[in-house]
Amino acid sequence: MLKTTGATFLAIATSFFILHFSPPPKSYYHSLFISSSLSDNASISHHLRTLTRRPHVAGSQANAEAASYVLSTLSACNIKAHIVSYDVLLTYPDSRSLTLTPSPSEPPITFDLKQEIYEGDPYADVADEVLPTNHAYAKSGSVVGPVVFVNYGRVEDYGTLKEMGVNVTGTVALARYGEIFRGDIVMNAFEAGAIGALVYTDRKDYGGEGGDAKWFPDDKWMPPSGVQVGTVYNGSGDPTTPGWASSEGCERVSVEEVESSGDVPLIPSMPISGADGETILRSIGGQIAKDNWQGSKDAPTYRVGPGPGVVNLEYNGKQVIATIQNVMGVIEGVEEPDRFVILGNHRDAWTFGAVDPNSGTAALLEVAQRLQKLQRSGWKPRRTIILCNWDAEEYGLTGSTEWVEENRELLASRAVAYLNVDCAVSGAGFHASGTPQLDDLLKLAAQQVQDPDNSSRTIYEQWIQSTESSLIGRLGGAGSDYAAFLQHIGVPAADMRFGAGYPVYHSMYDDYTWIENFGDPMFHRNVAVASVWGLVALRLADEEFLPFNYHSYALELQKRAEDLENEMSDKGITFSPLFKSIEELSKAARKINYQKKEIKEAKGWTSMWRNDHVKLRELNDRLMMAERAFTDCDGLLRRPWYKHLIYAPSRHNDYGSTSFPGIDDAIENAKNLNTAESWHVVQHEVWRVARAVKHASLVLDGKLT
């Protein structure tokens, strides 16, 4: 008779329990998360309507009330939630005026600088709570000068004016929004010698074409009186605490030191409407602007000036140390609680903020509610999930930056990835950007979620059919809250949305009515964003092996390096160190993918008796930490806060996304100076990037030299 030992009996009993009573696999919960039974477009609509009932700029009581709503909603989902506050420097308009004297023989025109309430406006009762149109952190002062039209205010636009013999010194620059960040528009005007800057919304870009064009509320376009407000601060975080958190009793630099930093404009500026911009354009004489500088077909002929129109621009702002509130929700992981998957969206808005940012806030709350339903079904995340609702993003990514600076060391050692949604929905068409090791994960999630505008296909199928350029963008620009995570401390990151730009951006017409009529009438796109966002987060939080593929990273770097080498073919710059490092990264990526496969194949039903979790943890740590190796403690030249040597903003466009930003900056400088020393700096920057890429390959490889 065969004897059954205690150990054998235990093994049989355990196997029987696993086969018959084990919880569903994580993939079951992931499918459940994106099912129609859990999604709720009516709930999203309710969240959005509640959050956008009043204007809620950072530092206001209305925004504090919105924070309380987010906090209570997260708490109702049985998510541990709390508020993290910071005291930061914010600015608000105190007084402003703008007068145009079209010519010496004509009387002056004083602009009222107001966005008009339309007939039947459901928000007319709170319209007076909208801040007067202004640029945050604009220089206070009064200037009088002839007007020069500078197109979009780019460096190349000033180059064109120089070729035309137009002197910008002592003038007020009139630029139209688009192409580059407004702070760079003002900075470029200052560097060209202008004494002030006006930025308007051109009909060609924001108002619809043709004389019979309609605008909001009859169509999606910006009304003639609409104004795009926003910050002109070129830094990140509280300007008075550069590089450290604005916690209670902290060190602060003076306003004079802030001005000397180069991150705030040194000339007054003001945003104005398309109607006011067109009035000023009619007063400008001189040479006719180039064809691609002209406006819509029924617009006046654009001339560059200067004058004869003269403007008197006065602006006075007040600076306030105000309290901002980040709302944080935490779902603790059961197996790896010290590994963080972070989802973030900001809450503050210049006006009502239906698209920017509260379509994203509504999606964040939808994700939270679905995660609660998963928990009720028995799901528990392997790793910790953190839901973040940032404050004061509009002023300069302030809430997220302060939090990252305060928690820098912990995040640098424990953050798996940061997933950002800002303007979740402004129209049709899915868009995503991210660091390359997340490419496969983003594509897979898009393949699993139905296209909200065509139920016969997935988001991925719509995505590849509608995209002419590369499918997934890169996060080089500093346009949203991923900046501190990726560009400052090197955390893998992604950003996603439906729709591209939208005409009423940062105006008082970005309200619930606009998104209900034009952005997302049935709120199905918002449901879809929440599905992709949450699904990516779940896979990062639950999968045993982090779903990172650094082979994509190596391919991306190889392509960009080849482009640069071709551009510099006649400058004597060698890129061989960089290509060698990229090849090492590619080898390390293939090796770690093979190791991952090896461990997976070794894991069978007997793996419970094996002690392979240490190998798994060590491999995941290498995947997680490799992105950190692309950072350099010294940061970019003259921009030390930006530590990432692969992805950071363009020096002359904060929105611009570039690879190898230090090399790009050095090339731009060398082209201007054309000295041996300046080209030597280019070569040095190539070496810096090559060293960073090699460090990343060593981290992936996991062995000391």
Instruction: With a cut of 80, say whether residue 657 has pLDDT above it.
Output: no
CB 655 within 8 A of CB 649: yes
**C-alpha distances in angstroms, 492 versus 215, 339, 704?**
40, 13, 23
- pLDDT > 70 in the chain, percent: 94
pLDDT for 500: 87
| Rounded CA separation 44/520 (Å) | 11
CB 152 within 8 A of CB 175: yes
| Rounded CA separation 139/145 (Å) | 16
| Rounded CA separation 471/420 (Å) | 18
Q: What is the mean pLDDT of residues 253-277?
A: 95
Q: Which of 369-378, 522-531, 558-567, 648-657 shows the lowest per-residue confidence on average (mean pLDDT)?
A: 648-657
What are the residue numbers of the active site? 393
275 dihedral zone (left: phi>0; alpha: psi -120 to 50; beta): alpha
Instruction: With a cut of 80, say whether residue 307 has pLDDT above it.
Output: yes
Identify the band that residue 480 occupies on the pLDDT scale cut at 50, 70 and 90: very high
Q: Which of 23-27, 368-372, 458-462 shows the lowest per-residue confidence on average (mean pLDDT)?
A: 23-27
User: Which residues touch 651 (CB under 8 Å, ≥6 apart)?
Assistant: 639, 661, 664, 665, 668
Which DSSP string do the residues of 336-359 spell out, in sequence order?
A: EEEEEEEEEEE---SS--TTTTHH
**141-149 and 310-331 strand pairing:** antiparallel
pLDDT for 298: 86
Closest CA to 690 of 556, 579, 565, 589: 579
**196-200 and 172-176 strand pairing:** parallel
| Rounded CA separation 228/271 (Å) | 7
59 dihedral zone (left: phi>0; alpha: psi -120 to 50; beta): left
Q: What is the mean pLDDT of residues 469-490?
A: 92
- pLDDT > 90 in the chain, percent: 87
pTM of structure: 0.94
